[in-house]
Amino acid sequence: MSMKEFWQSVRAAASFYKYGGPPPDAAPIDADIIDKGLRSSTNWLTSRTMTGWNETDVDEYFTPTDRDRLVQAVHTFQAVTKPLNPYRPAPTAEQIETARPALAEIIHLLEFDRYADSDAFTTGKRMVLALASNPPPELAELVELRFNTGDDWYGDPGIWIWGILSAYASATDEMFVNHTQQIRPILDDLCQQVDRDRSSFISFLSIEDLVGVETETRAVT
C-alpha cells in the first residue's frame, strides 16, 4: 500500500501535469514540463508530498541505479521539508531551489505519462522490471509499454496494457499483427505472474500512432 500511497502523493503534487488524453495518448512529461510546473507554485513543498514513502518498498519497482536516484532525491526533499510546517510551509528561496530538482527527479522516475494510476504503476512497473532483467527476443520491437487500471465490463478489476511497437514492426499490417501475436502471450503470462487478481487487456499501437512522438523513442525501461 505504501508505494501506491507514495505514488498518489507525488502525483497530487504534480497536478500541473495533465494527461492530455486518455491512455495510451498521454502527453510525454519531460524535464521542461516538470521544471515549468514546479516553478508555477510551491504548494508541493511540504512533507505531505512524500506521504507513503517507505524505503524498503522501492527495490520491487526500480533498477538499483534508479532506486539509488529515487532514495537520494527523497532524502534531499525530506531534509528540506523536515523543519517546515506541513500545512503552512514558508520556505526560503534556498530551500525551494534545493527541493525543486529533487522533486523533479522523483516525478521523472515515477513516469506519470506511462502509468495512469497507482495500481497501474505497481503492477506495470514490476512487469517492466521483469522484462528488463531478462528481455525475451520476441520483444525486440516493443518500444514502450503504458498502463492503466479500472473495472472491466463485469465490474472485475482489470489492467489495460498498451504495447507500442517500432515503426519497423509496423511497416505492414501483416508484420504488425505478426509481432503482436508473438508479444501478447509473453505480456499476458507475465501479468498473470505479477498480478493474478487483475485480468489483462492488451492492445498494440505503432510508435507512429502516438500523439507527439514521431521521432523520439524511449526504451521499455
Partner 1 sequence: MSIPDDLLWQAWMLATLDARRPKQVNLRRAISTAYYALFHLLTIDAARLFVKDDLEMASRVARSFNHANLRDVSNEFKNNQLPKSIRPPDVSVVILPGLKSVASSFSKLQQARHMADYNLSQTIRRRVALSFVGEAQSAFANWLIVKGSDQARLYLACFSMWDSWNKPPR
In the complex, the residues that contact partner 1 under the rule CB under 8 A are 22, 152-154, 158, 170, 173, 176-178, 180-181, 184-185, 188, 192, 196, 199-206, 209
Residue at grid coordinates 512533507: 47
Residue number with CB closer to partner 1 (68 or 189): 189
Q: Percentages helix, strand, coil for the chain, rounded to the nearest 5?
A: 50, 15, 35
Query: What are residue 219's phi and psi, to 5 degrees?
Result: -70, 165
Residue number with CB closer to partner 1 (2 or 203): 203
Cβ-proximal residues to 147 (8 Å cutoff; 6+ apart), any chain: 23, 114, 115, 116, 120, 121, 123, 124, 159, 160, 161, 162
Residue number with CB closer to partner 1 (20 or 83): 20
- Provide, rounded to whole angstroms, the least separation between the CB of residue 170 and partner 1: 7
- Provide, rounded to whole angstroms, the least separation between the CB of residue 151 and partner 1: 11
Report how far residue 42's alpha carbon sits from residue 207's, in angstroms, rounded to the nearest whole number: 35
- Provide, rounded to whole angstroms, the least separation between the CB of residue 87 and partner 1: 39
- Provide, rounded to whole angstroms, the least separation between the CB of residue 124 and partner 1: 17
Report how far residue 114's alpha carbon sits from residue 125's, in angstroms, rounded to the nearest whole number: 9
Residue number with CB closer to partner 1 (87 or 153): 153
